[in-house]
Amino acid sequence: DTGVSQDPRHKITKRGQNVTFRCDPISEHNRLYWYRQTLGQGPEFLTYFQNEAQLEKSRLLSDRFSAERPKGSFSTLEIQRTEQGDSAMYLCASSLGIAPDTQYFGPGTRLTVL
Amino acid sequence: AQTVTQSQPEMSVQEAETVTLSCTYDTSENNYYLFWYKQPPSRQMILVIRQEAYKQQNATENRFSVNFQKAAKSFSLKISDSQLGDTAMYFCAFMIYGSARQLTFGSGTQLTVLP
């Protein structure tokens, strides 16, 4: 079990550019979650997938954000036309899908928008 | 909407002593889980302990235990025999066992264990 991995770990970009992050969940986990964490705060839910289906999206996920999980394995989170307010840690978590359905987190991708 | 409140932004404890971190939550649901996660500096979020709301017995994991008071909607974490490696941000989190099962987190408590 290699745990949840995320790539890249850090991303610095200029305002207006597009960025894409990748998450590889624990192999047998069918649920995958994205959260955003700003400095000094707890993570906030963005969206989740069950297998390849994106089943819920938070109001935090504006039209500039899109997430995919094409084959029910890895997932990508893309932010288009980045803004300075998008600067945050983006966390991915996965779970098995059965009670208690504990979520296991990856190391996160820290995004800085200049 | 569910909310989780951690009223202690920072705490410190001497090595080998015991410390308790507080957490309260608000929900009208009955089927839910509560978690404590720890996030060491520049490292990933790690599960410390979880509690099923339907269980009356408080969960324990080695040096970590919880005091779950369902009526008061309180879920505190006790760390016994504190170690330097316990220094981290601790987040209390709540999950309704429904379709999405997303976690709702508190704002965290920064715990520093002093040598």
Distance from CA of B39 to the nearest CA of A (A): 10
Question: Do B105 and A95 make contact, defined as CB atoms within 8 angstroms?
Answer: no
Contact B39, B88 (CB under 8 A): yes
Contact call for A101 and B95, based on CB within 8 A? yes
CB contact under 8 A, A55 and B100: yes
Closest-CA residue of B relative to A105 is B45
- Interface A-B, measured as beta-carbon pairs within 8 A, has a size of 59
Using alpha carbons, list the distances in angstroms from residue B85 to A21, A105, B64, B108: 30, 19, 13, 17
Q: How far apart are CA A31 and CA A19, in angstroms?
A: 23
Residues A39, A32: contact at Cβ < 8 Å? no
Whether residue B103 and residue A107 make contact (CB cut-off 8 A), yes or no, is: no
- pLDDT tens-place string over residues A10-42: 999 999 999 999 999 999 899 999 999 998 899
Give the C-alpha separation, A33 to A110, whole Å: 16
pLDDT in tens, chain A (114 residues): 579 999 999 999 999 999 999 999 999 899 999 999 998 899 999 999 999 999 989 988 889 999 999 988 999 999 999 999 999 999 999 999 887 889 999 999 999 999
Output the pLDDT for position A8: 97
Residue range B6-42, pLDDT digits in tens: 999 999 999 999 999 999 999 888 889 999 999 998 7
Residue B112, min C-alpha distance to chain A (Å): 15
Query: Is A43–B103 a contact, with Cβ atoms under 8 angstroms apart?
Result: yes
